[in-house]
Chain A
Amino acid sequence: MPLRTSSKGSSRVNIETVARLLTIRNSPILLRLPPFVSALCLVVGIAWLFILPLNEYSRQTYVSENAILPGQVHTYFGGSEHNVFRAYRHEVYQMAQWSQADRLAAIEGIMRDIGLKSARQPYRYTVAGEDIQGTNVYALLQGPRADATEAMVLMAAWRNFDGEINHSGVALALTMARYFKRWSIWSKDIIILIPADSTYGSEAWVSAYHSTATEVTAWRNVSELSIKAGALQAAVAIDYPVGPWGHRFDKLDILYDGINGALPNLDLLNTAVSIASGQMGIGCSIHGVAAHSDSYQDRLKTLARGVMTQSAGHATGPHSAFMPYHVDAITLKTVGDGWHDEMSLGRTTESIFRSINNLLEHLHQSFFFYILLNANRFVSIGNYLPAAMLMAGNFTIAALALWLQSGRAPMTPTTKPADTASKLDGLQLEKVKLGDAVVLVPIQATKPMIRHLFLPVLAALAVHLFGVLPLKALVSLHRDYLTLSLQAIALASYLLPSLLSILLVRTLSASTQQIQILQSLSLLLLSAVLATLATLNFSLAFVVGVLAWPLAFVRPLFNPFAASMTLTSTNLHRSLLLAGQLLVTALYLALSPATVLYILTRYFDTSVQWTLLEMAKAWQIQGVYTALVVWAIWWPAWIVGGVVLTSSAWKPRS
């Protein structure tokens, strides 16, 4: 900001250049810009998601891997196989009345009769005082042309994800096994797996499949597998919980989300969709949006459901457990009333297995990161990732701005000078000599302040380490105490910001600058973690970014009726300021992790205890890290936001 220059002739140009440079670098406009830029990032980031369903930003799916050849073979499942299926379905119905031991023996008996090697795998998990146990049964069909290096899995969980007994699914899997056994074309082994339960059964099986020795701990006891085949190429689960008298279905709902939002290769999904709809004429749906009119609203609805389940990161079916082991897997779930029967489902499965059988190498051609808008339209990572990156970028910009601010002599930001003259009086000026010329610039522009980093660094570190406490409490306490501990955490998180800011400001006499640095570091860490997370689980990073947005804009509260304010503003203006601050505080409190959890359980109409128990089980058994992100990343950042908000209230008056 050049104010007065005294120059002689030729050096004027130089002076002006210098002055202009100083103006640009230290211009107050530049310093006030970041909040607007980060608000812009936020708005564009959210709006981004809403344009994805448009035709211009999404693409038609296509099968990318040459070898798959979906639907190119004639399917022979039919005729007398139907009788076999009906017989098995009655047997399965009978078994459902028996004890577990008899049932396992009966299933194994059928598998042996077919001529397969069969085995059992008991497992037991103990989480939050709840016992989860069961026994998986599986059999190995050695492919006549296979060299035992590769295998594919056909699954039908005894109980499906909704807890119903999967009568027709299990019967169909057994029929398919009997039918597959007769073919000589298999160049990969086929494993027929009947997990006892859709989530933990398949988890126990696939984790034992990929480990050489299983260690028994207090909470986990998973037996080793006595029969193994080669590397799993793909897994397909059948979910068809229809009783002994059959029920014709309308569509196949294809479930594909894995643990922590990992997705199977898009080719597997495309294969299933193109076989079901192209070869068999069965319509396919995604995320249960059965009546999909391919309108913008329906696409957006599908997208939103996908983002929600992937951000929660939990299992959505027996296929989910396979994803962390780099095995592509899907579940075919029958929905609705229609005219497709079990034989069309069987032929679909047969054709899918024929396609997987064709693979020469592990599925790798197509996308691993995508958002589906309907069964045959998707958005690829290049189109949607910027949304999450903008969310993360918004926090980085805020952090950089705070860092810059903390390095400058404090200006009183709330007093707005009426005219330029009084503005000049408020600033301390400094002479800058350049040759024989002199420029006057505000002292703030030239004198960097020394930053006292020790306390903010220590405080940021401590708060983030402290996040381990709520996480530990919520994943390891007995289930009866989970609701109570969430209440305690909610209460503590409302009090903690004030207590911490009293500790920092009063006891440790932290300056405004140190509070700014604390906020800057916390936001920087949040943004870096969210950017990293966006590459692993886009949806989770995006949702946390949206929920944490006020943290970038949190500034210390101030009293608009204080003496220093009365000079410059009217009463109405001050009341508006006060109302604004109350609103900000209310918003801040409403977006605390615990409150959001309460609101979400209310919205999805589930009990808090059930949600917490599921989160604890998912974290302990399947390694779902949503709880970690919430309590060790978001919660500490939220606490630091509160410290900043309340910091000025506890400042000792001098």
Chain B
Amino acid sequence: MDALRTVYNDHPKTVLFGSAAALRILLAVTFSGLPDLLTGRVEISTPVNSFKRLQEGLFLYERGLDPYDGGIFHQAPLLLPLFSLLPSSSTWIGRLASILLFTGLDLLTADCLYQIAESSAAHTSRLFSSPRKDRTWHPISVAAVYLFNPFTLLTCLGRPSTVFTTFFTALSVSHACRAQTVTAAFALAIASYMSLHPVLLLPPVGMLCYDRLCVQIARKAHSPSADGDARGNGFNGKVAIDQRTQPKALAFSTQMLGTFAIALAFLFALSRLLLPSWQFIPSVYMIPLTMPDLTPNPGLWWYFFIEMFDAFREFFLGVFWLHMLSYSVPFCLRFQKQPLAAVVLMMGVVAVFEPYANVGDAGAWLSCLALLSHVFEVSSAHRYTFPALATLLYAALLGPAFHHLWIYAGSGNANFFYAITLVWSLALLILLTDAVYSVLRDEWEAERPEGKGKDVRQI
């Protein structure tokens, strides 16, 4: 026991990552049917990220055909050469190899979250320093929340390709926290190339990156002896900022956007080299925009568009997408002082409102909420965290049960499952609004410390 404790105290990260990897591999080896079962679940695999569909695309690709011809495969082309290196996933060795790959991705994502938490970007920014920053969780806890989140665990075994998107998004944010503009933009470009919706994160991530850049420069100016790492060690509170040394916002955004655009162009060109035609562009990027495949998922779109008269389809597609778009810039404006909160909240909006919603994105977002751990105190005391989590538990159990009643037992119908997806989304939205409340409340209390602990009311 003591030996274990010593090992854990000396190398917490190694122990955590090792046990997370061991758990995933152990689950896949002990229950050999589990990965394929999870791959078939509609909650995890959607038309745009299903591992099964990836196999279909791979089959066509390896025979020199256009993988987008069949109308089944809608994932990014660069996944194909990567997965063609792995042995066929119908054999046990291929299954193990794919599990190892996705385990590796999970570990890398957790490492990114670790670095984001370590950078203290959550509670300290150019314009703001949270009064609750001593309540922040240890980075290792943030990584642990991601690695042992049951939704992440199930997603890892189900192997949807959105895990790549999650990883590149986290990578981009972690680079933004270190003020590395070019790499942050590049990683975000890869994430957007994989599944389109990370484009919505461009404004908040850009803002975060700019903020960290300012902090870094200010700190350099403040203590010229320091070597300029942005880790926040020995860096408490706001820094007196000299406006003259600030980077120009216009130049910064040009650099960010330029890198993003060039990276995307490069990725498209590379994809075109691998494939016989440009067909992948409509097949990958028009699918989430027009939602032709209405396979059920835990999101809010499918049922709505099944019921829709065709004449109104385009209109409502526009409305739904505008709704999602409409959060990106307002969040940036409102959370100017806490750019990381803007990024995390925008990820939440995407996880709830995206057309092909899945448990993986929701789980990754729930884990990312741990980055805002310093304000948990506010939300658990004044808001509905526990009821919302209890509702998530209910929905997570009732969802598969209702899907079974509808599809297999034949004694239920689509309304059962749709009702549960509504409950699921409601619980996620309550958590989202609670996070918004806590972050804003924290900001308000920094200005007015006398309001701490008081109930909100309208004046």
A is bound by B: yes
Pairwise interchain contact A536-B390, C-beta atoms closer than 8 A:
no
Pairwise interchain contact A446-B405, C-beta atoms closer than 8 A:
no
Pairwise interchain contact B454-A17, C-beta atoms closer than 8 A:
no
Within the complex, what minimum Cβ distance (angstroms) separates B30 from chain A? 12
Chain A positions 532 through 544: 1 when the CB is less than 8 Å from some CB of chain B, otherwise 0: 1001100000000
CA of A151 to CA of B254 in the docked complex: distance in angstroms? Answer: 69
Answer yes or no: A68 CB below 8 A from chain B CBs. Answer: no
Pairwise interchain contact A524-B393, C-beta atoms closer than 8 A:
yes
CA of A450 to CA of B393 in the docked complex: distance in angstroms? Answer: 22
- Chain B residues closer than 8 Å to A529, beta-carbon distance: 397
- Chain A residues closer than 8 Å to B402, beta-carbon distance: 535
Pairwise interchain contact B410-A326, C-beta atoms closer than 8 A:
yes
Q: Which of B381, B386, B411, B450 contacts A368 (CB 8 A)?
A: B411
CA of A539 to CA of B401 in the docked complex: distance in angstroms? Answer: 16
Pairwise interchain contact A262-B390, C-beta atoms closer than 8 A:
no
Answer yes or no: A531 CB below 8 A from chain B CBs. Answer: yes
Chain A residue with Cβ nearest B144: A454
CA of A396 to CA of B397 in the docked complex: distance in angstroms? Answer: 15
Pairwise interchain contact B410-A528, C-beta atoms closer than 8 A:
no
- Chain B residues closer than 8 Å to A434, beta-carbon distance: 454
Pairwise interchain contact B455-A528, C-beta atoms closer than 8 A:
no
Contact segment of A18-26, A415-423, A621-629, A636-644: A18-26
Pairwise interchain contact B397-A528, C-beta atoms closer than 8 A:
yes
Pairwise interchain contact A17-B453, C-beta atoms closer than 8 A:
no
Answer yes or no: A653 CB below 8 A from chain B CBs. Answer: no
Contact segment of A77-85, A342-350, A352-360, A399-407: A399-407
Within the complex, what minimum Cβ distance (angstroms) separates A210 from chain B? 11
Answer yes or no: A634 CB below 8 A from chain B CBs. Answer: no
**Given A21-B457, A432-B453, is A326 in contact with B408 using a C-beta cutoff of 8 Å?**
yes
Chain A positions 252 through 269: 1 when the CB is less than 8 Å from some CB of chain B, otherwise 0: 000000000010000000
Pairwise interchain contact B386-A403, C-beta atoms closer than 8 A:
yes
Answer yes or no: A549 CB below 8 A from chain B CBs. Answer: no
CA of A630 to CA of B209 in the docked complex: distance in angstroms? Answer: 54
CA of A434 to CA of B454 in the docked complex: distance in angstroms? Answer: 9
CA of A362 to CA of B416 in the docked complex: distance in angstroms? Answer: 20
Pairwise interchain contact B390-A448, C-beta atoms closer than 8 A:
no
Pairwise interchain contact A18-B455, C-beta atoms closer than 8 A:
yes
Answer yes or no: A619 CB below 8 A from chain B CBs. Answer: no
Chain B positions 397 through 436: 1 when the CB is less than 8 Å from some CB of chain A, otherwise 0: 1100110110011111000100000000000000000000
- Chain B residues closer than 8 Å to A21, beta-carbon distance: 455, 457
- Chain A residues closer than 8 Å to B455, beta-carbon distance: 18, 21-22, 25
**Given A18-B455, A536-B405, is A400 in contact with B386 using a C-beta cutoff of 8 Å?**
yes
Interface residues of B in 443-459 (CB under 8 A from A): 450, 453-455, 457
Answer yes or no: B292 CB below 8 A from chain A CBs. Answer: no
Pairwise interchain contact A17-B390, C-beta atoms closer than 8 A:
no
Within the complex, what minimum Cβ distance (angstroms) separates B201 from chain A? 30
**Given A396-B390, A532-B397, A536-B401, is A448 in contact with B408 using a C-beta cutoff of 8 Å?**
no
Answer yes or no: B295 CB below 8 A from chain A CBs. Answer: no
Interface residues of A in 1-43 (CB under 8 A from B): 17-18, 21-22, 25
Q: How large is the interface on B (under 10, 10 to 19, 20 to 34, 35 or more residues)?
A: 20 to 34
Within the complex, what minimum Cβ distance (angstroms) separates A12 from chain B? 16
- Chain B residues closer than 8 Å to A324, beta-carbon distance: 409
**Given A17-B457, A25-B455, A433-B450, is A364 in contact with B397 using a C-beta cutoff of 8 Å?**
no
- Chain B residues closer than 8 Å to A399, beta-carbon distance: 390
Pairwise interchain contact B386-A531, C-beta atoms closer than 8 A:
no
Answer yes or no: A209 CB below 8 A from chain B CBs. Answer: no
- Chain A residues closer than 8 Å to B404, beta-carbon distance: 536
Answer yes or no: A631 CB below 8 A from chain B CBs. Answer: no
Interface residues of A in 363-421 (CB under 8 A from B): 364, 368-369, 396, 399-400, 403, 407
Within the complex, what minimum Cβ distance (angstroms) separates A231 from chain B? 11
CA of A446 to CA of B453 in the docked complex: distance in angstroms? Answer: 7
Answer yes or no: A69 CB below 8 A from chain B CBs. Answer: no
- Chain A residues closer than 8 Å to B416, beta-carbon distance: 535
Pairwise interchain contact A535-B454, C-beta atoms closer than 8 A:
no
Chain B residue with Cβ nearest A327: B410
CA of A651 to CA of B394 in the docked complex: distance in angstroms? Answer: 34
- Chain B residues closer than 8 Å to A46, beta-carbon distance: none
Q: Which of B402, B411, B412 has the most CB of A within 10 A?
A: B411
Interface residues of B in 91-106 (CB under 8 A from A): none
Pairwise interchain contact A369-B394, C-beta atoms closer than 8 A:
no
Pairwise interchain contact A535-B405, C-beta atoms closer than 8 A:
yes
CA of A326 to CA of B387 in the docked complex: distance in angstroms? Answer: 36
Answer yes or no: A525 CB below 8 A from chain B CBs. Answer: yes
Q: Which of A262, A369, A447, A528 has the most CB of B within 10 A?
A: A528
Q: Which of B380, B393, B410, B454 contacts A448 (CB 8 A)?
A: B380
Pairwise interchain contact A531-B457, C-beta atoms closer than 8 A:
no
- Chain B residues closer than 8 Å to A396, beta-carbon distance: 390
Within the complex, what minimum Cβ distance (angstroms) separates B79 from chain A? 31
Pairwise interchain contact A528-B393, C-beta atoms closer than 8 A:
yes
Chain A residue with Cβ nearest B416: A535
Chain A positions 418 through 460: 1 when the CB is less than 8 Å from some CB of chain B, otherwise 0: 0000000000000011100000000000111011000000000
CA of A160 to CA of B393 in the docked complex: distance in angstroms? Answer: 44
Pairwise interchain contact A528-B401, C-beta atoms closer than 8 A:
no
Q: Which of A369, A525, A532 contacts B401 (CB 8 A)?
A: A532
Pairwise interchain contact A400-B450, C-beta atoms closer than 8 A:
no
Answer yes or no: B377 CB below 8 A from chain A CBs. Answer: yes
Within the complex, what minimum Cβ distance (angstroms) separates B90 from chain A? 16
Chain A positions 286 through 329: 1 when the CB is less than 8 Å from some CB of chain B, otherwise 0: 00000000000000000000000000000000000000101000
- Chain A residues closer than 8 Å to B380, beta-carbon distance: 407, 448, 451
Chain B positions 107 through 121: 1 when the CB is less than 8 Å from some CB of chain A, otherwise 0: 000000000000000
Pairwise interchain contact B453-A531, C-beta atoms closer than 8 A:
no
- Chain A residues closer than 8 Å to B386, beta-carbon distance: 400, 403
Within the complex, what minimum Cβ distance (angstroms) separates A192 from chain B? 25
Interface residues of A in 549-574 (CB under 8 A from B): none
CA of A187 to CA of B455 in the docked complex: distance in angstroms? Answer: 71
Pairwise interchain contact A18-B401, C-beta atoms closer than 8 A:
no
Pairwise interchain contact A532-B398, C-beta atoms closer than 8 A:
yes
CA of A446 to CA of B393 in the docked complex: distance in angstroms? Answer: 29
CA of A450 to CA of B381 in the docked complex: distance in angstroms? Answer: 10
- Chain A residues closer than 8 Å to B394, beta-carbon distance: 528, 531-532
CA of A536 to CA of B453 in the docked complex: distance in angstroms? Answer: 45
Chain A residue with Cβ nearest B405: A535
Pairwise interchain contact A262-B457, C-beta atoms closer than 8 A:
no
Interface residues of B in 142-162 (CB under 8 A from A): none
- Chain B residues closer than 8 Å to A400, beta-carbon distance: 386-387, 390
Within the complex, what minimum Cβ distance (angstroms) separates B171 from chain A? 29
CA of A567 to CA of B203 in the docked complex: distance in angstroms? Answer: 66
- Chain B residues closer than 8 Å to A535, beta-carbon distance: 398, 401-402, 405, 412, 416
Pairwise interchain contact A262-B409, C-beta atoms closer than 8 A:
yes
Pairwise interchain contact A528-B409, C-beta atoms closer than 8 A:
no
Chain B residue with Cβ nearest A520: B386
CA of A403 to CA of B398 in the docked complex: distance in angstroms? Answer: 22
Chain B positions 367 through 396: 1 when the CB is less than 8 Å from some CB of chain A, otherwise 0: 000000000010011000011001001100
- Chain B residues closer than 8 Å to A450, beta-carbon distance: 377
CA of A276 to CA of B405 in the docked complex: distance in angstroms? Answer: 31
Q: Which of B387, B393, B410, B454 contacts A525 (CB 8 A)?
A: B393
Pairwise interchain contact A364-B410, C-beta atoms closer than 8 A:
yes
Between-chain CB contacts (< 8 Å), 21 pairs: A18-B455, A22-B455, A262-B409, A326-B408, A326-B410, A364-B410, A368-B412, A396-B390, A400-B386, A446-B453, A448-B380, A448-B381, A525-B393, A528-B390, A528-B393, A528-B397, A532-B397, A532-B401, A535-B401, A535-B412, A536-B405
Chain B residues proximal to chain A, CB less than 8 Å: 377, 380-381, 386-387, 390, 393-394, 397-398, 401-402, 404-405, 408-412, 416, 450, 453-455, 457
Taking A262-B411, A524-B390, A531-B394 as given, write out 11 further A-B residue pairs in contact, using a Cβ cutoff of 8 Å, ordered by the A residue number. Answer: A399-B390, A400-B390, A403-B386, A407-B381, A433-B450, A434-B454, A448-B380, A451-B380, A529-B397, A532-B398, A535-B416
The 8 closest A-B pairs by CB, nearest first: A368-B411, A448-B381, A532-B397, A326-B410, A532-B401, A528-B394, A528-B393, A403-B386
